[in-house]
């Protein structure tokens, strides 16, 4: 049991703010993106820098406290927050420095994608992140990081050059190809199992305006659009990244959308996307030249804070006609207009040419990632939406590969988290035994150390 005296002494030693139950700020500090998560930590330490993080790790060890680490708080499973224990909240660590000469950036783990992109784009530079600007760079990168530049530059984790990592024994280690290379390997896809990152260094690329947007069709045409899409999406050049599926317009009408970003020249993008824009009779064609920042926030209105969520996702081996039929059927029946899904992300180009053993992220050879991103506003709607999500996911099971993207796993998937690490699991287990044998970092999609 944590004494008040020990807690107070510890709190005064921190440079950053901290919150305990009953204090102003505590309730706001325990809110995460998924509002169905309602946990009450004993202490939330909003770290100001690496020294606070090191102190938190020491304090948690000394008092045998469970630790949750919070970056952007977007884990749908709620892994950024815990019941009773200590939340090491990195959300105030937002330092960032772009070096245009070396095309690299140093970024702290409290940054959101929107903040990161704004700073890098000021120099006409970018690297792969995700597609919703409020997501945290830290959790996203540590699990992989799939976004509009995936075909050209791979995952966010593929573009990390180095990280500063506070390990379970309270040391701060540099992880890179040259320093602690085993840790560097595991941190790129291993989902925070080995330590807490206090600073990332990424490689950047020149990126001007992109040709992006989407086309919308009546949801009744899902089957035809999907049949066209499955070939179109995979035959495009690396510069083309696409997603598709059932979504509702902001006034609540269900449609089937194909969204895309072409990250080469605008003229080339128009040519590459012409077959999609000429296919069928779209209700709306929203393609055009736009800044990368506009592209990166295009989907934001569909994912505001304050809603409950239940997500399921898995990579697919392919999309045969039988899978198309199931996708079509569930596109017609989603119970909530806030739900995005059934949905597909395409995995092609640079990401798929990297050896699956090169980083801890194993799932590089499956063409599609299948997602059901269910969301609703009232707790009373949870049961119906969760049941529909599971039914849809179960129906697609015959077409699924072994393994899901760790960043989309829901909490109940934990017994199967092993599949999310795929063929890299045994190597990750060895690393866990070396860097965190007592499983201090366990509120994540956990690799349990072997006895």
385 is a site residue for ligand FAD (CB under 6 A): no
Pick the closer one to ligand FAD by CB: 33 or 388: 33
Contact partners, residue 20, CB within 8 Å, separation at least 6:
7, 11, 26, 42, 43, 44
Binding ligand FAD by CB under 6 A: which of 41, 85, 145, 245? 145
How many residues make contact with ligand FAD (CB under 6 A)?
35
Residues 78-97, interacting with ligand FAD (CB under 6 A): 79-80, 90
User: How far, in Å, are 77, 331, 332 from residue 389 at the CA level?
Assistant: 15, 11, 13
Pick the closer one to ligand FAD by CB: 113 or 219: 113
Q: How far is the CB of 221 from ligand FAD (least distance, A)?
A: 25
Binding ligand FAD by CB under 6 A: which of 16, 41, 71, 449? 71
Q: How far is the CB of 155 from ligand FAD (least distance, A)?
A: 8
139 is a site residue for ligand FAD (CB under 6 A): yes
46 is a site residue for ligand FAD (CB under 6 A): no
Binding segment for ligand FAD (CB under 6 A), chosen from 132-140, 176-184, 209-217, 290-298, is 132-140
Binding ligand FAD by CB under 6 A: which of 82, 132, 175, 362? 132
Pick the closer one to ligand FAD by CB: 204 or 373: 373
Binding segment for ligand FAD (CB under 6 A), chosen from 140-148, 221-229, 278-286, 428-436, is 140-148
In three-state form (DSSP H/G/I as H, E/B as E, the rest C), the secondary structure along the chain is CCCHHHHHHHHHHCCCCEECCCCCCHHHHCCCCCCCCCCCEEEEEECCCHHHHHHHHHHHHHCCCCEEEECCCCCCCCCCCCCEEEEEECCCCCCEEEECCCCEEEECCCCEHHHHHHHHHCCCEECCCCCCCCCEHHHHHHHCCCCCCHHHHCCCHHHEEEEEEECCCCCEEEEECCCCHHHHHHHCCCCCCCCEEEEEEEECEECCCEEEEEEEEEHHHHHHHHHHHHHHHHHCCCCEEEEEEEEECCCCCEEEEEEEEECCCHHHHHHHHHHHHHCCCCCEECCEEECHHHHHCCCHHHCCCCCEEEEEEEEECCCCHHHHHHHHHHHCCCCCCCCEEEEEEECCCHHHHCCCCCCCCCCCCCCEEEEEEEEECCHHHHHHHHHHHHHHHHHHHHHECCCCCHHHCCHHHHHHHHHHHHHHHHHHHHHHHHHCCCCCCCCCCCCCCCC
Binding ligand FAD by CB under 6 A: which of 16, 41, 130, 186? 130
Q: How far is the CB of 446 from ligand FAD (least distance, A)?
A: 9
Pick the closer one to ligand FAD by CB: 79 or 364: 79
Q: How far is the CB of 133 from ligand FAD (least distance, A)?
A: 9
Pick the closer one to ligand FAD by CB: 56 or 196: 196
Pick the closer one to ligand FAD by CB: 125 or 138: 138
Contact partners, residue 207, CB within 8 Å, separation at least 6:
121, 124, 125, 126, 149, 263, 292
142 is a site residue for ligand FAD (CB under 6 A): yes
Binding ligand FAD by CB under 6 A: which of 30, 46, 74, 364? 74
Binding ligand FAD by CB under 6 A: which of 140, 157, 204, 428? 140
Q: How far is the CB of 75 from ligand FAD (least distance, A)?
A: 3
Pick the closer one to ligand FAD by CB: 211 or 303: 303
Instruction: Give the burial class of 415: count Cβ atoms within 10 A of its Cβ; 0-12 exposed, 13-18 middle, 19 or more buried.
Output: exposed
Residues 180-239, interacting with ligand FAD (CB under 6 A): 191-192, 196-197
Pick the closer one to ligand FAD by CB: 108 or 221: 108
With contact defined as beta carbons under 8 Å apart, do 2 and 59 qualify? no
Pick the closer one to ligand FAD by CB: 57 or 324: 57
Q: How far is the CB of 18 from ligand FAD (least distance, A)?
A: 17
Binding ligand FAD by CB under 6 A: which of 138, 259, 298, 313? 138
Report the distance separating Cα 347 and Cα 367, nearest Å: 5
Q: How far is the CB of 35 from ligand FAD (least distance, A)?
A: 11
Specify the pairing of strand 240-248 against strand 254-262. antiparallel
Residues 292-351, interacting with ligand FAD (CB under 6 A): 303
Residues 393-412, interacting with ligand FAD (CB under 6 A): 407-408
The contact set with ligand FAD (CB under 6 A) reads: 33, 69-76, 79-80, 90, 109, 130-132, 135-136, 138-140, 142-147, 191-192, 196-197, 303, 407-408, 444
């Amino acid at each position: 049991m944590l004494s008040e005296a020990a807690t107070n002494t510890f709190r005064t030693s921190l440079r950053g703010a901290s919150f305990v139950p009953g204090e102003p700020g505590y309730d706001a500090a325990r809110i995460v993106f998924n509002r169905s998560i309602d946990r009450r930590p004993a202490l939330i330490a909003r770290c100001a820098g690496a020294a606070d993080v090191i102190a938190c790790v020491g304090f948690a060890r000394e008092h045998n406290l469970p630790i949750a680490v919070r970056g952007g708080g977007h884990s749908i499973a709620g892994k950024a927050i815990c019941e009773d224990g200590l939340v090491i909240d990195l959300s105030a660590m937002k330092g960032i420095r772009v070096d245009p000469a070396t095309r690299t950036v140093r970024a702290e783990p409290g940054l959101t994608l929107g903040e990161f992109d704004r700073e890098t784009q000021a120099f006409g530079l970018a690297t792969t992140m995700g597609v919703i600007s409020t997501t945290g760079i830290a959790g996203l990168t540590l699990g992989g990081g799939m976004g509009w530049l995936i075909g050209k530059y791979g995952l966010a984790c593929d573009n990390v050059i180095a990280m500063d990592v506070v390990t379970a024994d309270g040391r701060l280690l540099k992880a890179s190809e040259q320093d602690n290379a085993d840790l560097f390997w595991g941190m790129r896809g291993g989902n925070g199992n080995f330590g807490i990152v206090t600073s990332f260094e990424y490689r950047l690329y020149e990126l001007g305006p992109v040709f992006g947007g989407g086309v919308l069709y009546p949801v009744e045409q899902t089957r035809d659009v999907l049949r066209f899409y499955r070939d179109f999406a995979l035959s495009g050049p690396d510069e083309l990244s696409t997603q598709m599926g059932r979504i509702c317009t902001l006034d609540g009408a269900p449609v089937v959308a194909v969204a895309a970003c072409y990250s080469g020249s605008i003229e080339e993008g128009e040519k590459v996307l012409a077959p999609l824009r000429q296919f069928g009779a779209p209700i709306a064609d929203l393609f055009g030249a736009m800044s990368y920042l506009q592209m990166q926030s295009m989907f934001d209105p569909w994912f505001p804070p304050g809603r409950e969520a239940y997500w399921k996702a898995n990579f697919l081996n392919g999309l045969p006609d039988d899978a198309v039929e199931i996708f079509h059927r569930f596109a017609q029946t989603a119970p909530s207009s806030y739900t995005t899904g059934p949905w597909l992300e395409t995995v092609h180009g640079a990401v798929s040419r990297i050896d699956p053993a090169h980083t801890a992220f194993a799932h590089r050879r499956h063409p599609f990632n299948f997602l059901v991103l269910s969301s609703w506003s009232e707790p009373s709607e949870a049961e119906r939406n969760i049941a529909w999500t599971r039914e849809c996911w179960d129906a697609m099971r015959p077409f699924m590969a072994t393994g899901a993207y760790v960043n989309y796993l829901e909490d109940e998937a934990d017994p199967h988290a092993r599949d999310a690490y795929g063929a890299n699991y045994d190597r990750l287990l060895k690393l866990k035994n070396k860097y965190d044998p007592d499983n201090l970092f366990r509120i994540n999609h956990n690799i349990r150390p072997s006895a």
